Structure 1
Amino acid sequence: MNTSSSTLTATASPSIAQPSRLAGLALSALIAAVAIAAIRIDWLQAHGFSALTLAIVIGMLVGNLGYRRIAPPCTPGVNFSKQNLLRLGIILYGFRLTFQDIGHVGLSGVLIDALVLCSTFSIAVLLGTRVFKLDRETAMLIGAGSSICGAAAVMATEPVLRAQPAQVTVAVATVVVFGSLAIFLYPLLYQLNLHWHFLAASPLAFGIYTGSTVHEVAQVVAAARAISPDAANTAVIAKMVRVMMLAPFLMLLSAYISKKGAKKTTTAKNEKADGTIKRGAGGLAIPWFAFGFVAVVAFNSMNLLPGTLVSHINDVDNALLAMAMAALGISTQFSSLRTAGIKPLMFAAVLFGWLIVGGALINTLVLRVFA
């Protein structure tokens, strides 16, 4: 009995401080610290860059400029950062949200977010694999980043898809490119809307539109602040509700992936001429960290912790996610990105166009129904 208990404990809580992991953890932490410090530069903040974006860029530079010479002792810690610390970071991300956020945008705001998410991801799966001929993992990762919350959604989706580092990096790159473009484009769209009235000509309506269609939280803030404080407040709330949809999205995606895997396994069984049965890996890959994310949101909604403590937790979470992004960058080789080619960028551009045009249509229709 004691033996099994100790075995379970060892399995459930892998030690961060294992000697084989320390070098890689230290390297990931150093890059994350540099990125977090650099993000305090006013120009970077004004243009919507986040510590996560900088961490992956710096990590890629390190990973392609001499990392191979120190790779053997660092690899276990780097892998631990981009896998285990990532999951913990996504769970703690729930401290940024509360269920009360839903009340601030109303049922119409929730419905808009849901329709934008579902339509964007569905288009991503169809166009990515059939028109642009991308592999399924890359198409889904870019779709998740575009439809939910940028790099955080890409990283959260990676364990469900078991994607390769190069695929994840390509997806994050598209979020950076088009999310950064949105920062400059959306204030111009707001001015055009004042004349053409594609949407209701109010900061509130445009704030919901911005929060429901721009990729990253930081990019939403930067774009909406250029319009007005009221637009920024509404945009952030709409974006947070969209982020909250990450957990159910991961659960549904896991069920979908499992179903597809089970079909392939069944087909393989039926094609066996000798009648033998080969068991496949079609079981449901449950993203348990998604349940942890929802539990943290529920706990945070009860407002039991002081604001200062929640702020410190968010700082720790930001550091964990930055370490995960740094590790991802370290693991990515530029040769892999060159192999990916221009197709992912073109594909992400189409999704960006849908977010702007299709998102405006969804916002207009839903707000008219609930007017």
Structure 2
Amino acid sequence: MTPPHPLAPAAPPVVPHVEVPTPRVPPPSSLSLPTPRRRGRGDDALPRPQSVVPGALAALAVSGACLALTLTAPAAPALLVAIVLGVVARAAHAVPASFERGLAWVGRRVLRTGVVLLGLQLSARDVLALGPPELGVLVVTVATTFSATLWLGRRLRVGRSLTLLVATGFSICGAAAVAAMSPVADAEDDDVATAVALVTLYGSVAILVVPVVARAARLSDRTAGLWAGMSVHEVAQVVAAAGAVSAAALSVAVVAKLARVVLLAPLVTAVGVVRRRGGARSGGAAVPVVPLFVIGFLVAVAVRTVGGVPDVAVPVVHGATTLALGAAMVGLGTQVHVARLARSGGRAVLLGAVATTVAMTVSLGGLLAVGALG
């Protein structure tokens, strides 16, 4: 065996292999150090306040301007003007990036706040001012309009969510009803905006139709007012249509309209129950049986009924409601992509036309039948 050269480097010592256990790192949920909460990723999560303030303030400012315009020019409905401005701003690429999160947040959260505020204008006592036969006609009108719109929407191949929103808005109370049904329907912003636009379009047409038909058919003021309240979509449109007939028609029209609005919560609840039993999902979660803001709406109605909101404060509440809903319309409008609406717009427009015709025909026929029997 040859000995190693004296200048050769010494061989490294042999170290026995020792298994060193790898320290176990606990999962993030069990770390002792706090981790930031990642809220704001979903549509309904609360984002950071500083991220929503610019867009929210812009939407409220535009809504205030629309409300002022309506006060000076009643022919320009605030909600319609607000959503049109939002759509135009998006199409013109005039929405700053810093406004995006605030506008999306307003389009959902503030919309629901507006529905709750709407309840402060309603009193259960107003509903009792209608007789049982007239209440029967009202319920039949709502049920027929809702059911017929759902049936026709399927035949026209209009999207399920859009059909449900149109059916609700046209049978109950327009934009506020659309807002109340949107979380149960798991509707996209395009569908909500389309439904609101259709409500405003055909409600505006009804403003012209009701006085003309009332005079041509020689309807009594009470019948004409009830007809307007049971068939025209928005409260403001009911006021305009019945007011063009007479003051007596206007007073009974408002009562009939408020009675329709009271049916909003039962309808949303019923749809929520049906969809939940069918396994429908909303944003990955089960469809709520009764959305929280609908409960808030019912509480607001109860507060108004027991005298918690005096009559003198109702105009202020009405203004606040319009401001909130108008801001939401601005937010929804900026979420609309015109190209997508154009692809399905024709079928949706036809659906709205038929829904309006059903509501006006069933209500007037029912009222004439009740009057003849009475």
| Structure-1-length-normalised TM-score | 0.83
The residue aligned with 1:30 is 61
**Is the contact between residue 111 and residue 366 of structure 1 (CA under 8 Å) also seen in structure 2?**
no
The residue aligned with 1:269 is none
Residues 237-264 of structure 1 deviation map (CA, whole Å, 9 limit, x = unaligned)? 10111011111111111112212226x9
Cα separation, 2, equivalents of 1:14 and 1:92: 22
Cα separation, 1, equivalents of 2:118 and 2:84: 22
Residues 4-35 of structure 1 deviation map (CA, whole Å, 9 limit, x = unaligned)? xxx9xxxxx98788111111112211221221
**Is the contact between residue 184 and residue 287 of structure 2 (CA under 8 Å) also seen in structure 1?**
no
Residues 199-236 of structure 1 deviation map (CA, whole Å, 9 limit, x = unaligned)? xx411122111110111111111111111110111111
The residue aligned with 2:243 is 225
Cα separation, 2, equivalents of 1:19 and 1:125: 41
Cα separation, 2, equivalents of 1:176 and 1:284: 28
Residues 257-316 of structure 1 deviation map (CA, whole Å, 9 limit, x = unaligned)? 212226x9xxxxxxxxxxxxxxx8556443121111111111111113443444323322
Map 1:279-318; keep pairs closer than 5 Å. 281-282=285-286, 284-318=288-322
Output the amino acid matched with 2:94.
Y
The residue aligned with 2:358 is 354
Shift of the 238–173 alpha-carbon distance from structure 1 to 2, 3 Å rule, reads: same
Structure 1 residue aligned with 2:176, among 135, 145, 152?
Answer: 152
The residue aligned with 1:275 is none
Structure 2 residue aligned with 1:81, among 98, 106, 113?
Answer: 106
Cα separation, 1, equivalents of 2:62 and 2:234: 21
Cα separation, 2, equivalents of 1:58 and 1:18: 25
Cα separation, 2, equivalents of 1:305 and 1:38: 27
The residue aligned with 2:334 is 330
Cα separation, 2, equivalents of 1:283 and 1:170: 22
Output the amino acid matched with 1:329.
G
Residue 266 of structure 2 is aligned to residue 248 of structure 1: yes
Cα separation, 1, equivalents of 2:360 and 2:100: 41
Aligned residue for 1:96, secondary structure, equals: coil
**Is the contact between residue 101 and residue 241 of structure 1 (CA under 8 Å) also seen in structure 2?**
yes
Cα separation, 1, equivalents of 2:287 and 2:93: 40
Structure 2 alignment gaps of length 5 or more:
1-36, 38-43
Cα separation, 2, equivalents of 1:283 and 1:60: 29
The residue aligned with 1:319 is 323
The residue aligned with 1:137 is 161
Map 1:63-212; keep pairs closer than 5 Å. 63-67=90-94, 70-71=96-97, 73-129=98-154, 131-194=155-218, 201-212=219-230
Q: Size of the alignment, in residue pairs?
A: 331
Cα separation, 2, equivalents of 1:107 and 1:227: 24
Superposition RMSD in Å? 2.3
Shift of the 41–284 alpha-carbon distance from structure 1 to 2, 3 Å rule, reads: closer
Output the amino acid matched with 1:62.
A
Output the amino acid matched with 1:27.
A
**Is the contact between residue 108 and residue 367 of structure 1 (CA under 8 Å) also seen in structure 2?**
no
Shift of the 283–352 alpha-carbon distance from structure 1 to 2, 3 Å rule, reads: closer
Output the amino acid matched with 1:328.
L
Shift of the 20–119 alpha-carbon distance from structure 1 to 2, 3 Å rule, reads: same
Cα separation, 1, equivalents of 2:46 and 2:311: 30
Aligned residue for 2:278, secondary structure, equals: helix
The residue aligned with 1:57 is 84
Aligned residue for 2:366, secondary structure, equals: helix
Cα separation, 1, equivalents of 2:46 and 2:276: 30
The residue aligned with 1:339 is 343
Output the amino acid matched with 1:153.
A
Output the amino acid matched with 2:70.
I
Cα separation, 2, equivalents of 1:20 and 1:155: 23
Aligned residue for 2:143, secondary structure, equals: helix
Shift of the 347–15 alpha-carbon distance from structure 1 to 2, 3 Å rule, reads: closer
